[in-house]
Amino acid sequence: MGNDTRPPTLKDVASPAGVSVISASRVMRGAPNISNGLREKVETAAQMIGYRRNRIAGSLRGQTTDLITVIVPSMSNHVFPNIVDGIDDALQGSQLRLVLGMTKYKDSSEEDILRDMLTWNPAGVILSGLEHSDSTKEMLSNFSGPIVEVMDTDGDAIDMAVGNSMAEAGVLIARHLVAKGYRRIAYVGAWGERPKRSVKRRVAFEIELERLNTPLVTSVIHEGESSLQHGAQAFKRLLDYDLKIDAVFFANDDLALGALFYCQANNIRVPQDIALAGFNGIELCQSITPRLTTISTPRYEIGWLAGDLIRKQIAGESNSKQQMFRLDLELIEGSTT
Amino acid sequence: MGNDTRPPTLKDVASPAGVSVISASRVMRGAPNISNGLREKVETAAQMIGYRRNRIAGSLRGQTTDLITVIVPSMSNHVFPNIVDGIDDALQGSQLRLVLGMTKYKDSSEEDILRDMLTWNPAGVILSGLEHSDSTKEMLSNFSGPIVEVMDTDGDAIDMAVGNSMAEAGVLIARHLVAKGYRRIAYVGAWGERPKRSVKRRVAFEIELERLNTPLVTSVIHEGESSLQHGAQAFKRLLDYDLKIDAVFFANDDLALGALFYCQANNIRVPQDIALAGFNGIELCQSITPRLTTISTPRYEIGWLAGDLIRKQIAGESNSKQQMFRLDLELIEGSTT
DNA sequence: ATGTTGATTGGTAACGTTGTCAATAATATT
DNA sequence: AATATTATTGACAACGTTACCAATCAACAT
């Protein structure tokens, strides 16, 4: 691949087109007030010599890029892929591009990734959750573009936030389980309860159970990743405690489904012997028999709205600074409770 | 000293540190041959005034960025999130950042996304599949950095390719089904068989069946997305044809699992009444009862290797140009065949 | 006829960094 | 001790674009 020659620049377009460099620039980036004649001349010349914009140069001069920083824990789960899909869809039609970083559930990486990301002068930032290190908060407070924190709305947003109330989710499930007559209720989490929003959900769950005179019997927090297998493992551990648990709320559907499959494989009747409830409402919950009771979170919508807010903010179409968007949660009652 | 509206530059670091701008630059980007004294002076000053590198400016001068373009169909599936996770892990420790674009299964978008991505002067490009439009191929042939095509290895790579042989997968399943005694075999696909690698798999499957004197009875290609529900729908459509099918190979696990759940809900015995096989080997296949027969693809490893090749190539650590990395497939025999 | 306004085009000077070349100081080699 | 390397620092000039300001011209109002 010939890197001997340098790619054509605006000067190379302007010269054969017989126009100034700045005019060529305006045509190439679709600036207003350009006559058809000029546009045509420039476009023809650009086509001819195979000109391609250099956004790096433009970004340097313009002091801002069309890059959007997105930092998520990981992609290997059923939440963030949908979020990212939503963001991307909302960014369609704009010039904005998504630059992705992953913390792999290591809280401290968020700061490092953000620090590096900011060296690219992004136009906007999307993070997950409302909890961040002090350095992260400081970097963001000095950041001039729009910032959206996704997933969680229980707390203070740096700029904008889109997500669900984790507390509401905990309360919804607590009431549901108690209403259904379960009295010895347990909780199962994973990832050592990182990120922190899972803690908010569990705590609200516990408090509501307490309020309903049905205190949480115990909780099992798996240190490792969240998966079907680990859900089954943690569930088995829970059963081994022999606490006559009659219902379990899991931090997510994967854990709950792992437990459900474990029950099916071990002739434990669900919900007669034990009831199971998950969180997120992934497609699988509705497709299996019995359908898993869960809380459906609008993941794609969260991503879409986050992307749309960023896009509008950058385009100057709206000003939603300092706003929090709390989307609806829905209890999906399956046959496991 | 100057403008407090603009972020500090190297000049603002160099001045209080009492060194030249270029020396400050060298320290900030970790160039070799810097004395400890200089490094310390610069780092102190940088810390003091809160200097942050401007990669845009550096990229303009250096003619290359540390951005890696990654174009995938979508994130809402069980394949590409793992790939992207793998890429990201392989890029850890380097300065490289992943810029993500999604075609949403519209083949023609790849070209548009790539065109836009190239305006950012990426250091490398990762695409999925080996099939691309002529324009895409031309843009890539003029691109000077490393290019990795992931997923598919049946064809010619532009530069490097990492993935599996789709044909091998088709053959493996064909042999397995025939060996198990199935004789009236069907195929179910989705997304209108975009991307094209699914066609390669199906065709190899058909040819091998033919060779084994058990020609494919029929295939159903769903036009829309791949999901559990659509798998069930397409499967139901297949059953409605009343062709006495005794085994079905699905384009992926989601479709197959959808069919399996449909069978479970409708008292169709698997594999006695009909055998089902999927493709990809997602975790769920092993967790349910009966375990789904499938072919496991090393998705994370494909992503990791792709990222690692890009990283090494850019660091000049290796030269794997024009190489194809065909990873192993494994038939996971469950209880559905 | 005389401004006035807006549309259209151009010139100049950054944007903040680093490649290249050059100079000097420190160390190794003969 | 003289010379050859190597390590360390600096000066200058790009990199390719666009913000800003200025100029021209046509259309329109007074």
Q: Is the pLDDT of residue B3 over 50?
A: no
Give me the pLDDT at residue A321, please.
Answer: 81
Q: Assign residue B185 the CATH number of its domain.
A: 3.40.50.2300
Q: Is A109's Cβ below 8 Å from some Cβ in B?
A: no
**Whether residue A98 is found in the same domain as residue A214:** no
Pairwise CB contact (< 8 Å): B120 & A97 = yes
**Whether residue B84 is found in the same domain as residue B154:** yes
Domain contains B335: no
Residues 202-221, chain B, touching A (beta carbon < 8 A):
none
Judge if ipTM > 0.85.
Answer: yes
Q: Are A257 and A221 in contact (CB under 8 A)?
A: no
- Cα(A130)–Cα(A41) distance, rounded to whole angstroms? 51
**Whether residue B226 is found in the same domain as residue B253:** yes
Q: What average pLDDT does range A195-209 have in this prediction?
A: 97
Spatial distance from the CA of A240 to the C1' of D7 (Å): 66
Give me the pLDDT at residue A2, please.
Answer: 35
Q: What average pLDDT does range A169-173 have in this prediction?
A: 98
Residues 115-154, chain B, touching A (beta carbon < 8 A):
115-121, 141-144
Q: Using 50, 70 and 90 to split pLDDT, how confident is the model at A264? A: very high
Q: Is A1's Cβ below 8 Å from some Cβ in B?
A: yes
Q: Is B106's Cβ below 8 Å from some Cβ in A?
A: no
Is the C-beta atom of B33 closer than 7 angstroms to strand D? yes
- Cα(B125)–Cα(B145) distance, rounded to whole angstroms? 7
**Whether residue B288 is found in the same domain as residue B171:** yes
Q: Is the pLDDT of residue A203 over 80?
A: yes
Nucleotide nearest to A59 (CA to C1'): D17
**Whether residue B231 is found in the same domain as residue B286:** yes
Domain contains A1: no
Domain contains B3: no
Which of A81, A120, A264 lies closest to B56 in CB terms? A120
**Whether residue B114 is found in the same domain as residue B203:** no
**Whether residue B305 is found in the same domain as residue B157:** yes
Q: Is the pLDDT of residue B333 over 60?
A: yes
**CB atoms closer than 10 angstroms to residue A54:** 20
Mean of the per-residue pLDDT values for chain B? 95
Is the C-beta atom of A22 closer than 7 angstroms to strand C? yes
Domain contains B273: yes
Domain contains A18: yes
Give me the pLDDT at residue B1, please.
Answer: 32
- Residue for token pair 């992207």: B84
Q: What average pLDDT does range B137-149 have in this prediction?
A: 95
Closest CA to A164 of A281, A85, A291, A322: A281
pLDDT tens, residue by residue, A213-241: 999 999 999 999 999 999 999 999 999 99
Q: Using 50, 70 and 90 to split pLDDT, how confident is the model at B320? A: confident
**Whether residue A157 is found in the same domain as residue A177:** no
Bridge partners for B224 per DSSP: none
**Whether residue A18 is found in the same domain as residue A116:** no
Nucleotide nearest to A62 (CA to C1'): D18
Give me the pLDDT at residue B77, please.
Answer: 94
**Whether residue B269 is found in the same domain as residue B314:** no
Q: Using 50, 70 and 90 to split pLDDT, how confident is the model at A4? A: very low
The total number of structural domains in chain A stands at 3
Domain contains A273: yes
Q: Is the pLDDT of residue B316 over 90?
A: no
**Whether residue B100 is found in the same domain as residue B47:** no
Q: Is A54's Cβ below 8 Å from some Cβ in B?
A: yes
Structure tokens at B332: 């996971």
Antiparallel, parallel or unpaired: β B330-332 and B294-296: antiparallel
Closest CA to B319 of B305, B328, B309: B309
**Domain residue limits at B114:** 64-165+299-329
Domain contains B19: yes
Which range among A34-38, A202-206, B31-35 has the greatest average pLDDT? Answer: A202-206
Q: Is A331's Cβ below 8 Å from some Cβ in B?
A: no
Number of Cβ pairs < 8 A linking chain A and chain B: 143
Q: Assign residue B34 the CATH number of its domain.
A: 1.10.260.40
Give me the pLDDT at residue B180, please.
Answer: 97
Give me the pLDDT at residue B2, please.
Answer: 32
Q: Which residues contact A209 (CB under 8 A, 6 or more apart)?
A: A174, A177, A178, A185, A215, A216
Closest CA to A126 of A254, A295, A327, A314: A314
Which of A1, A60, A85 lies closest to B143 in CB terms? A1
Give me the pLDDT at residue B63, please.
Answer: 83
Which of B121, B258, B265 lies closest to A289 in CB terms? B265
Q: Is the pLDDT of residue B321 over 90?
A: no
Is the C-beta atom of B19 closer than 7 angstroms to strand D? yes
Give me the pLDDT at residue B319, please.
Answer: 81
Pairwise CB contact (< 8 Å): A228 & B283 = yes
Task: Kindly report the nearest CA distance between residue B49 and chain A, in angstroms.
Answer: 13
pLDDT tens, residue by residue, A118-138: 999 999 999 999 999 999 999
**Whether residue A23 is found in the same domain as residue A77:** no
Q: What average pLDDT does range B269-291 have in this prediction?
A: 96
Q: Using 50, 70 and 90 to split pLDDT, how confident is the model at B178? A: very high
Domain contains A333: no
3-state helix, strand and coil shares in percent for chain A, rounded to the nearest 5? 45, 15, 40
Cβ within 7 Å of strand D: which of A 41-100?
A: 51, 53-54, 57-58, 60-62
Q: Which nucleotides of C are covered by protein (CB under 7 A)?
A: 7-20
Q: Is the pLDDT of residue B4 over 70?
A: no
Helix (H) or strand (E) holding B301: helix B299-315
Give me the pLDDT at residue A83, please.
Answer: 98
Structure tokens at B195: 């991307």
The alpha-helical segments, DSSP class H, found in B101-165 are 107-118, 134-141
